[in-house]
Structure 1
Amino acid sequence: MSQSANVGAQQRGDIAQRSHRCGIIRAMPASTASDLATFALAKIQPPHPRTDLIERPVLEQALGMALLRSRLTTLVAPAGYGKTAALTRQLRQLPEDCAWAWVSADEDDHLPRFIACLSAALECYDLPWRVSPDALSTLTQGPSGLRAAATELVNALASAEAPRGVIVVDDAHRIADPKVFELLQWMLEWLPAHWSLVIASRIEPPLPLARWRAAGELSEFRQRELSFSEDDVAALLVHAATGAHDAPTVAQLMERTNGWPAGLRLTLAARADTGMAAGRSAALPQRHMFDYLATEVLDGMPKVLRDFLLSCSVLPELTAPRCAQVSGRDDAPALLEEIERRGLFVSVLEADEPTLRLHDLFRDFLEHRLQRERPTELPLLLERAAAFEPDAARAIGHLARAGAWPAATQALLDRGPMLLAAGGVGLDDMLTMLPAEAFDSSPDLHLLKGLSLLMNFRLDAALIALHRASTGFVQAGRPREATASRAYASLTQVSLGMLPAAEAELALLRADELDPSSRALVCYGCIWVAYAHGRGEDAAPLYAEMLEALEKVPVLRAWNQVFFQSRLTGFPGLAPLMERFARSALAITSDTPSRLRAGVYYTRAVTALGAGRIDDASDCLQSADEDCRWLGSPRSVLIESRSVHVLVQALRGDSAASRAMADAAVADMRLNEMLNYRLTHGFETGFTILRAAWVLGEEASIRAANADLQAGVNPAEYPTALDVRRFGQAMIAVLDGHLALAASLLEPLAGEVEWTAYFPATQALVTLADVQVQSGQLDAAAVTLRPWLAAAQRGERLGGALLAGPRAIARLARTDWGSRLTRPEVETLRLLQGIGVAARGEGECTLPLSQQLSLQPAARREDLSGLAGLSQRELEVLRCIAAGDSNKLIARAFDLSPHTVKRHVANILNKLAVNTRGQAAARWRHIDPGTDSRY
């Protein structure tokens, strides 16, 4: 290794040590790298400060002050004005306890990719995320999603322990997705006072700069500030040891380059390498001058180095293995050292292995020269680059440029399942890179596209893609894949309300020989067909068959596809099967948040609601909501969450919370992309809102919700919508005193078998009994109640009865039943009233303990004084936080994933109502003053 290379390596080591002391570790751990395969880690690694940079005290003082004081700093100038170099030098001069994150933008940086880069760049600071960083992109897909994602980012930054933080977005002119700048604008609105944003770009970023300028919170560096002054040029000549650095030479260089840093550096390099005369480029504009000077430099290089640079110009970053792969040269490490020694428009990145990045101007020049001199070689070089590229978007982009569509297709198919499992972020953009012809010959691509569309509730388009996948697999002689595509298509048809077609197809599939995963999916579809028709009694045999198939494939992917189940709770025979499912599902998910685990908790919440255990239902909801939030609140989980919340909050008497959830559900349903889902399922949301208003006794809301429900008739909705609307009409009849009409509407709906979600048959039965009592028909009311009373004395069917509302329950409990009901039956009615009163916080249930045994909430853990609500694992994590352990050390101590630790930290902060890890640690030390702490 050359002496210059040795010096560079030593400086890299010095800066790595200094970064370590500041908590700035740019090299990502292996486990994190695998999780972040959607972008190249080099994008969040700032260039190493160049050893040949001269001091520019005027610029450095102004820029340093801006980074420490301004909310927003912009560096806007054409290429070659040293924006990146100025920033990387200045970052190293910040105080040691200053935090900073770097993102180098690329042309393919859509919003999800940018968010992934930013959150990964902040990884080393152990920010207390309330949402998984990987799920922030999912969060952006909901209503006001950009604001929600910005809020989470800002909250995490506000909780950072560093006294000052800087976020740098370099090469922002490359960003084509306007949503990225919208996100940055929201972040700027709420950015904590100790954080600042820096944007380097060739063009002014599309942000409301005038507002920040007027407020005195914007520092701007443009071409004038970034250009070299005569003093800078003189210092450059001295540093370059070119000989002449007298005033005439400085003036001549200033006249010809106008202080353009790129032109100055290339002029000096060209003089040194070729001895060219200074005046030969005087009349050329900047870009042409760069090409001219770069030609002089390139042609003056040894042929081996010149060819190597041309071949490797297709790479965004240069490492020895990648360059060897692309160029086919075993001496790539030595050649990279020579490139670094020459220092010509190349930056050194802080990475696990020596990594160089060519300046845009120089890389563009090299690629242009490559296409001109060796056009037939470019596609091959791009394919080689793709083969060694972990960044999926870059790899597919390389192959698309090369026109290597079969290879691009295969690369997407190889990485597609992983992207789907991670929420499908960025997958649609990669699919659009491929031409239509690629889909024509690939049913796998149609399946991937269909599943991606299905995750985003674009149901019509998903169904088309899945049908094409099925047809293609049949033609290719791949029956197993064809069956899976047909099963997914049938499930999509169920969601679209195309029940006859779905039912016929699912029946055919179920009769076939199926692998366990496909059988589980088919049975799951059949269950929802039964649900849609109100045939709750058909669910248990299908569920048992689904569960037996799943138990043969205990992997998350298979179980995750059937996670949504809470609306089935209460159907006959399902309770033991659903608990069996829950135990296995929780064992599979372990301590990892997932849609499956959230689904289990929501199902348990509804189960607890059904048994009248409202406190337990709330606890299960809290656990489910923690997972839902951590996952970025995906719409498929939110739909379940909001429905259960609307009812549970109503039973607790919290009108504001119930209404907030109802409004959120309605707003979500009104989104354009939810049209198909709304047509099929809108009546269910309306019915849930109506029932909550009924429990709360809000007459105006009842009438408004029923009017919306009655007006929403459409051909795509499930047959049970007819019974739902009858129920709404019955409620209005009760309000208007038309009791005979109400009874006639309720009688067909009341019974022992539930016919849709959240126990409407039980609610209808108890409401019918109340109507009969109001009509003076006590004998009929006793007959109506008796089957329910037998179940209630076993602790069953209580939640549906509570949904009949406190007025009805109180009336039934106060009625003088005489000999029509036994004393235990009357006490059960009073107990039901007491449960409702306790749930609303209006008193306690005072009946004998013997009458409450089956209705008691599950035993709760004794609270540790001052740390109420924390689980045992959260207490263990808090103890480690108080001892000063990082997330990585905690993960290692308990054999947890880093993201699981982050989730525990977020839960701790939420439950303790604190903002930072340090504040949480202080709370622990108040309980245990003997804790050894570094906070």
Structure 2
Amino acid sequence: MAQIAMHPRSPEPVHRLVAAKLRPPRPLTPLVPRPRVHALLGAAAHRSFVVVLAGPSGIGKTVALTQWAATQARPVAWVTVDARDNDPRRLWPHLAAALAGATGDPDLERSAAGPEPGSAEYVAALANRVVAHHARPILILDEYEHIVERDIHDRLELLTRVCADRLTLVVAARNRPALPVERLEPAGRLARVSWTELRFDADEARDLLTTGYGLPTALAPTAIDTETIVRELRDREEILDALLRFALGFDLKDRELFRTAFTPDAEFDFRPVAAELGLEVPVMVGVAAIEAVHFNPDVRLDTTHAVSNARIGFIGDRARLTALVEAQHLPTGDHTRHLLLKNRYAVDLVRTGAGWAMSRLYVENVWRTGDPKVLIGA
């Protein structure tokens, strides 16, 4: 028998750096200056080791951070995160390269070149170099919602712990990131910036119309008109966001986000859809009952919800929202079966101290495909 030559296993391929990830996206249109938002982010970064900016897609997190970063005297390192960055061998070299590029110190990148990227030794070496550096860089991680690996969260916590006040980590995500940095909150070293602070006020809305869209100043709304317009747009945005929080909270298994969508005594009437499926579901009364049904531990589902065709009407502190919601359900661990529903939602909402919340939902089915038993875990 012919001999087979044996060779050592080749090392794992090194992930190439993607230069586009290391800079903010370039705006397609001129941006309206927003010193109010710059001051808000600046104050948070000045007093904190970690700044978290969480909010829905499209609310303006990336634009706000891009504008703010351009005003900073401190060096700013930027990394746009994607799902492939759950591999620490890909993420951590990008972080090191971003810090090296921002500070002009190539040793920041070289100092961690020996250990396995993402290992405790790698992160410690990088952190020690940051601490020894004369600059106090700001590291911005945008679209951090893609990171689900616990080890990466833990290593970032190690980075902030070793660097302390020599580094400010700014994390932007669609949902609250799972970084274990709560220890910083009692000392005021963790800042959470609400996405609602990014909404345009009346002056900014007027600047957007005149500067951003070229509307002649003479035709721009008056301050009173602008305030009315902005208030109505905010209400419409928050009304729709209540339904989106319900859908996203359910899909992400985020109970905290899910609960914010409802008033404490909310009613959820799913009976018309259940009847179509040959099932029996009582009206759910109270947010605890609604949560118990949707997060039933005996029914493990992977779901996605898409909301469309929303219509909103409101008077004072009460509103009515109608929308189509497409809901895909697949048993966790068995995606060979599914139940896809297109449902029509009629939602009553009320204004609360924390914004708009749903007080009653009535759901009817438009069409469906798949196995109804999926919905009950059978």
TM-score range, shorter chain: 0.5 to 0.7
Match of 1:190 in 2: 162
Contact 1:128 1:159 in 2 (8 A): no
Q: CA deviation at 1:210?
A: 3.1
Distance change (3 Å), C-alpha of 1:256 and 1:160:
same
- Pair 1:252 & 2:224 matched: no
Distance change (3 Å), C-alpha of 1:285 and 1:223:
closer
Match of 2:253 in 1: none
- Pair 1:64 & 2:37 matched: no
Distance change (3 Å), C-alpha of 1:285 and 1:94:
closer
Counterparts of 1:727-746 in structure 2 under 5 Å? Answer: none
Match of 1:869 in 2: none
Q: CA deviation at 1:241?
A: 3.2
Where 1:102 maps in the other structure, the secondary structure is: strand
Where 2:134 maps in the other structure, the secondary structure is: coil
Where 1:47 maps in the other structure, the secondary structure is: coil
- Pair 1:148 & 2:121 matched: yes
Counterparts of 1:110-509 in structure 2 under 5 Å? Answer: 110-124=87-101, 125-128=104-107, 133-136=112-115, 138=116, 140=118, 145=119, 147-162=120-135, 164-239=136-211, 240-242=213-215, 243-246=219-222, 247-248=224-225, 250-258=227-235
Distance change (3 Å), C-alpha of 1:120 and 1:139:
closer
Deviations 1:708-754 (A, max 9, x none): xxxxxxxxxxxxxxxxxxxxxxxxxxxxxxxxxxxxxxxxxxxxxxx
CA distance in 1, matches of 2:68, 2:195: 18
Task: Select the structure that is richer in strand.
Answer: 2
Give the AA of the match of 1:120. A
Match of 2:298 in 1: none
Contact 1:71 1:217 in 2 (8 A): yes
Q: CA deviation at 1:174?
A: 1.1
Where 1:198 maps in the other structure, the secondary structure is: strand
Q: CA deviation at 1:149?
A: 2.2
Distance change (3 Å), C-alpha of 1:105 and 1:210:
same
Contact 2:130 2:166 in 1 (8 A): no
Contact 1:229 1:259 in 2 (8 A): no
- Pair 1:75 & 2:47 matched: no
Q: CA deviation at 1:244?
A: 3.8
Contact 2:99 2:137 in 1 (8 A): no
Q: CA deviation at 1:155?
A: 0.7
Contact 1:59 1:225 in 2 (8 A): yes
CA distance in 1, matches of 2:46, 2:134: 16
Where 2:75 maps in the other structure, the secondary structure is: strand
Q: CA deviation at 1:129?
A: 5.1
Q: CA deviation at 1:74?
A: 1.1
CA distance in 1, matches of 2:109, 2:220: 60
Match of 1:701 in 2: none
Distance change (3 Å), C-alpha of 1:251 and 1:189:
same
Deviations 1:773-817 (A, max 9, x none): xxxxxxxxxxxxxxxxxxxxxxxxxxxxxxxxxxxxxxxxxxxxx
Deviations 1:296-350 (A, max 9, x none): xxxxxxxxxxxxxxxxxxxxxxxxxxxxxxxxxxxxxxxxxxxxxxxxxxxxxxx
Match of 1:104 in 2: 80
CA distance in 1, matches of 2:75, 2:14: 21
Q: Which structure's relative contact order is higher, taking Cα pairs within 8 Å and 6+ residues apart?
A: 2
Contact 1:154 1:192 in 2 (8 A): no
Q: CA deviation at 1:176?
A: 2.4
Contact 1:73 1:197 in 2 (8 A): yes
Q: CA deviation at 1:90?
A: 1.0
Where 1:216 maps in the other structure, the secondary structure is: coil
Counterparts of 1:531-610 in structure 2 under 5 Å? Answer: none
Q: CA deviation at 1:139?
A: 5.7
CA distance in 1, matches of 2:99, 2:93: 10
Q: CA deviation at 1:93?
A: 0.8
Deviations 1:74-110 (A, max 9, x none): 1111111111111111111111xx2221110001112
Equivalent residues, number: 225
CA distance in 2, matches of 1:193, 1:126: 19
CA distance in 2, matches of 1:196, 1:285: 30
Task: Select the structure that is richer in helix.
Answer: 1
Please, which moves more after superposition, 250-259 or 66-75? 250-259
CA distance in 1, matches of 2:123, 2:199: 35
Give the AA of the match of 1:208. P
Deviations 1:828-850 (A, max 9, x none): xxxxxxxxxxxxxxxxxxxxxxx
Distance change (3 Å), C-alpha of 1:54 and 1:132:
same
Where 1:108 maps in the other structure, the secondary structure is: helix
Contact 2:45 2:51 in 1 (8 A): yes
Contact 1:127 1:160 in 2 (8 A): no
Distance change (3 Å), C-alpha of 1:62 and 1:173:
same
Where 1:191 maps in the other structure, the secondary structure is: helix
Q: CA deviation at 1:51?
A: 5.6
Q: CA deviation at 1:113?
A: 0.8
Contact 1:76 1:203 in 2 (8 A): yes
Distance change (3 Å), C-alpha of 1:126 and 1:244:
closer
Q: CA deviation at 1:235?
A: 2.4
CA distance in 2, matches of 1:130, 1:52: 34
Give the AA of the match of 1:100. V
Distance change (3 Å), C-alpha of 1:157 and 1:258:
farther
Identity of aligned residues (%): 28
Distance change (3 Å), C-alpha of 1:193 and 1:230:
same
Deviations 1:587-628 (A, max 9, x none): xxxxxxxxxxxxxxxxxxxxxxxxxxxxxxxxxxxxxxxxxx
> How much is the aligned-residue C-alpha RMSD, in angstroms?
3.0
In the alignment, structure 1 segments of 5+ residues that lack a partner are 1-34, 264-282, 289-364, 366-935
CA distance in 1, matches of 2:139, 2:124: 16
Where 1:122 maps in the other structure, the secondary structure is: helix
Q: Structure 2 length as normaliser, TM-score?
A: 0.53
Match of 2:16 in 1: 38
Match of 1:88 in 2: 66
Where 2:185 maps in the other structure, the secondary structure is: helix
